[in-house]
A and B are shown apart, each in its own frame.
Chain A
Amino acid sequence: MGILEKITRNVDNRYWDPGVGAFPVKNRYTAGVAGQRFFEKIKEDGNIIGTRCEACEITYVPARLYCERCFKRLEEKDWVDVGTEGIIHSFTVVHKTLEGETKEKPTLLAAIQFADGMLIHRMGECKEEEVYIGMKVTAHFKAKPKRKGGINDIDYFKPL
């Protein structure tokens, strides 16, 4: 068996986990020390901030607590406003849902450069064929009362 003998008939040889999902528990994630402040800025001011490591000459967006390159702790003075306008670094048209099904309406997603960092988000108010790498875009925020302190407080980015 195994090696000596094998199942050769295609019968139901599978045992499904009882119930939906094998990991029947939720996860909850804090945004962290830097993320908390990053999202606060989006929520309260509709603005995007990063943190700058002077030694490495790099400005992180989203903001970080530390410079991953030199491990300097990024402090009060290192927080910088990067504005709401960025440049498309790359984009893609997503045709599949998270379930792997074909979407009725594909999503236009872009990686948008802010300083030395990037935000990945949906594109809106523009057609697929209009988008190009290097295009200038700006954030379209949700109405302030609807913002909850998360990346979806930005509805989408749109051409400038």
Chain B
Amino acid sequence: MSEKIQVSGGTALSEEDIRSGNIFVTEDSLDCAYAWDMGVAIKRYLAELKEGRIIATECRKCKRIMLPPRLFCELCFIPCNSWRYVKDTGTINTFSICHVHWDASRIKEGEDPHLPAVIEIDGASDGMGIMHILGEVEPEKIKIGMKVKAVWKPKAKRTGSITDIKYFKPL
């Protein structure tokens, strides 16, 4: 059994090599902003969040109450136009206790960890979860299956965004 594996290239550099200026680099960033067309479904979803309500759509064929709301049922492949309010309570399907920020930098000493979770919203079909964060809870006490409720921003501070819900806290 002869080793015939061929490997070539992949010259490792250190950060020092680059900082010293001996290895030439160019830097750039894509300074382009994006304005996403929300469309009918998400526009209404956000508008309702601003009012302190969560809205879903129902498929007339499979009867799934879908969250986030959509204008079509991706399984039946038909348009849907039945709006359904769902509750602002739900069940934790899964969660994490996260010690790094979105850019991979570690949270500082004393700073609270982020508590992302998938929350199955009451009133939507089984398993219809959304990603959000948890609050007013000791991280060690979070359990899968725990019931939670949305904590809304004060009405004046809501902007029509998913962050109009500050977080979900244990019921």
Contact = CB atoms under 8 A, between A and B. Distances in A.
Interface of A: 1-7, 13-17, 20-31, 33, 35-36, 39-40, 148-150
Nearest to B103: A25
Contacts of A4: 79, 81
Interface string B93-107: 000000000010000
A15 to B, nearest CB: 5
A150 B27 CA distance: 11
Contact of A30 (B25, B28, B40): B25
A24 B42 CA distance: 24
Given A15-B46, A39-B24, A27 B29 contact: yes
Interface stretch (B30-38, B109-117, B120-128, B138-146): B30-38
Interface residues of B, number: 32
Dominant SS at the A interface? loop
B72 A2 contact: yes
Given A16-B35, A30-B25, 15 more contacts: A2-B40, A6-B40, A13-B39, A14-B36, A15-B42, A17-B33, A20-B33, A22-B32, A22-B34, A30-B18, A31-B25, A36-B23, A148-B21, A148-B24, A150-B24
Contacts of B31: 20-21
B26 interface: yes
Interface of B: 11, 13, 18, 21, 23-43, 46, 71-72, 79-81, 103
Contact of A28 (B11, B26, B39, B43): B26
B79 A3 contact: yes
| A-B pairs with lowest CB-CB distance, top 6 | A149-B24, A2-B71, A14-B35, A31-B24, A26-B29, A22-B34
A23 B29 contact: yes
B36 to A, nearest CB: 5
Contacts of B26: 28-29, 31, 150
